[in-house]
């Protein structure tokens, strides 16, 4: 009979598959099986600190539970026990937390082997010589098309005239359209031209984590000095600063310091500055004070040139008709275009003796049908409960608030958005909706619904919230 603890490595293995490599390494290296309680119904795991416990419980509870019940099917809840780790291992984890960007684009970092370099000032802040850049993103392999031309040109201009011309440069677009690529290309070109420059690429999430560590260790001055000494600061996905007030505060100071000293700042985001809900006005106006450029979706012709460039670089042989078909079908973003080419390459490699025919291409393309929900098109198979849950999560409120009588602005707005969903997506009548919302009058519901309908046309923040809910409900 295996001991109960013996299943734990399997749980860890399973959990690893559910989380990103960097999250797993950062948060679960020091997590272990502690004991089983309540006749097998409760599994207790050991964690190194109260902070860890709170963090993993709020971020990964669902994943942990799913992995646990797979191997401990009798368990109905998971508990935590704080066990302080030995010093050395603790340092390892701090490092993992800071050095691994929390993005899915992981790559082999090449630490610069420089024996004479002083120790890093803090284990969670990478050495000065580690710029964190991925060398694969360059201007040379960035295909300039009409939809990204301005962004690409401004990015190149920034390298030429750093800190003065466009500062900050703020690049925004939907996912997969080349923001990270351009951001890192600026860094790589700068490193090439000005080897003595202190260049740092940092995903916003990593910046937040580092800041939390520095707060915990009461080393905020070190954190600030570290960032104030940078010549070119590249922060990716700044939308993650949303709602993170203390990070916003320190970033505001760093931003001002660098800016006053003519150091270059480049930021990327999935939205333009003014649509960043939860970022204070003083930061938004800083973001707007330099140059704001967007990258839009590539048109058919642009997609064809991107495909042709990539096919040549990958040394693939694909006939023009198939290339055209890919460009026609995949209209979402460049990441998906790359995905299709990678799949074709794998297929050709795995089965070199078989022709790559139209049927093969169709089966690859079929997994890329466009799932993006639109505002007008209702999502199929929705139920009222799921809608309420999504809206409550987005507004950080409870179900009873929304059903109840609270007149708080945030709750009232969430409730009206819920009315809109019940009418627009679930096709329920105003009186029925009124009944479901604690017996409200149908005119109240109608008024709320109409108000949202109007706001959707004029207020991007409201549209953003509604789309967020739709994406959540559509599972994308």
Nearer to ligand ADP, 179 or 465 (CB): 179
Contacts of 12 (CB under 8 A, 6+ apart): 28, 31, 67
CB of 175 to ligand ADP, least distance (A): 4
Question: How many C-beta neighbours within 10 Å does residue 81 have?
Answer: 12
Asked if residue 143 binds ligand ADP (CB under 6 A), the reply is yes
Ramachandran class of 404: left when φ > 0, alpha when ψ lies in -120 to 50, beta otherwise: beta
Report phi then psi at 316, rounded to 5. Answer: -95, 155
Binding of ligand ADP at residue 67 (CB under 6 A)? no
d(CA 123, CA 110): 17
Site string for Mg ion, 178-217 (x = CB under 5 A): -xx-------------------------------------
346 touches which of ligand ADP, Mg ion, none (CB within 5 to 8 A by kind)? none
* Binding of ligand ADP by 154 (CB under 6 A): no
Number of residues that bind ligand ADP (CB under 6 A): 16
300: contact with ligand ADP by CB under 6 A: no
* Measured CA distances, 444 to 309, 406, 433 (Å): 57, 14, 10
List phi, psi (to 5°) of 232. Answer: -135, 110
The answer to whether 177 contacts ligand ADP (rule: CB under 6 A) is yes
Residue entry with tokens 């939390």 = 212
State in angstroms the smallest separation of the CB of 11 from ligand ADP. Answer: 32
181 is an interface residue for ligand ADP by CB under 6 A: yes
Query: Does the footprint of Mg ion cover residue 95 (CB under 5 A)?
Result: no
- b/e string for 425-452 if b means 16 or more Cβ within 10 A? bbebebeebbebbeebeeebbbebbebb
Tell me how far, at minimum, the Cβ of 238 lies from Mg ion, in Å: 11
- C-alpha to C-alpha distance for 417 and 424, rounded to whole angstroms: 10
Residue 142, binding choice from ligand ADP, Mg ion, none, Cβ under 5 to 8 Å by partner class: ligand ADP
The residue (of 179 and 322) whose beta carbon lies closer to Mg ion is 179
The CB-of-468 to ligand ADP minimum distance in angstroms stands at 17
Give the integer Cα–Cα distance in Å for 166 and 163. 7
Query: Which residues contribute to the site for ligand ADP (CB under 6 A)?
Result: 141-143, 148, 173, 175-181, 306, 334-335, 338
List interacting residues with Mg ion (CB under 5 A).
179-180
């Amino acid at each position: 009979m295996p001991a109960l603890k013996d299943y734990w490595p399997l749980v860890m293995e399973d959990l690893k598959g559910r989380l990103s490599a960097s999250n797993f390494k950062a948060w679960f290296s020091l997590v272990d099986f502690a004991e089983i309680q309540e006749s097998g119904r409760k599994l207790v795991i050991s964690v190194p600190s109260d902070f860890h416990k709170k963090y993993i419980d709020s971020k990964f509870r669902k994943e942990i539970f799913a992995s646990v019940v797979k191997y401990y099917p009798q368990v109905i809840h998971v508990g935590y026990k704080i066990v302080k780790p030995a010093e050395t291992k603790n340092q390892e984890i701090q490092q993992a937390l800071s050095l691994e960007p929390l993005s899915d684009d992981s790559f082999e970092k090449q630490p610069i082997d420089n024996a004479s370099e002083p120790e890093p000032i803090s284990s969670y802040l990478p050495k000065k010589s580690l710029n964190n850049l991925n060398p694969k993103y360059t201007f040379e392999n960035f295909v300039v098309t009409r939809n990204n031309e301005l962004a690409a040109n401004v990015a190149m201009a920034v390298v030429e005239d750093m800190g003065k011309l466009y500062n900050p440069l703020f690049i925004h677009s939907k996912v997969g359209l080349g923001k990270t690529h351009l951001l890192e290309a600026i860094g790589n070109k700068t490193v090439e031209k000005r080897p003595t420059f202190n260049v740092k690429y940092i995903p916003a999430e990593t910046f937040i984590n580092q800041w939390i560590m520095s707060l915990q260790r009461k080393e905020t001055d070190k954190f600030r000095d570290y960032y104030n000494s940078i010549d070119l600061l590249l922060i990716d996905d700044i939308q993650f600063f949303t709602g993170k007030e203390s990070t916003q505060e320190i970033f505001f100071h760093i931003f001002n310091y660098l800016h006053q000293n003519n150091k270059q700042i480049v930021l990327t985001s999935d939205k333009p500055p003014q649509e960043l809900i939860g970022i204070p006005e003083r930061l938004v106006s800083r973001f707007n004070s330099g140059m704001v450029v967007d990258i839009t979706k590539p048109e058919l012709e642009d997609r064809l040139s991107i495909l042709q460039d990539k096919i040549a670089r990958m040394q693939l042989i694909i006939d023009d008709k198939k290339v055209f078909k890919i460009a026609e079908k995949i209209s979402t973003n460049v990441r998906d275009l790359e995905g299709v080419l990678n799949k074709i390459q794998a297929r050709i490699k795995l089965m070199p003796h078989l022709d790559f025919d139209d049927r093969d291409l169709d089966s690859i393309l079929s997994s890329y049908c466009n799932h993006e929900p639109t505002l007008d098109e209702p999502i199929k198979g929705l139920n009222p409960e799921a809608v309420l849950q999504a809206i409550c999560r987005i507004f950080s409120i409870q179900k009873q608030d929304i059903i109840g009588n609270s007149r708080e602005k945030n709750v009232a707005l969430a409730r009206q958005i819920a009315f809109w969903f019940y009418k627009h997506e679930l096709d329920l009548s105003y009186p029925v909706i009124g009944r479901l919302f604690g017996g409200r009058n149908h005119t109240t519901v109608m008024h709320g619904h109409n108000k949202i309908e109007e706001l959707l046309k004029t207020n991007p923040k409201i549209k953003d919230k509604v789309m967020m809910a739709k994406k959540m409900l559509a599972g994308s």
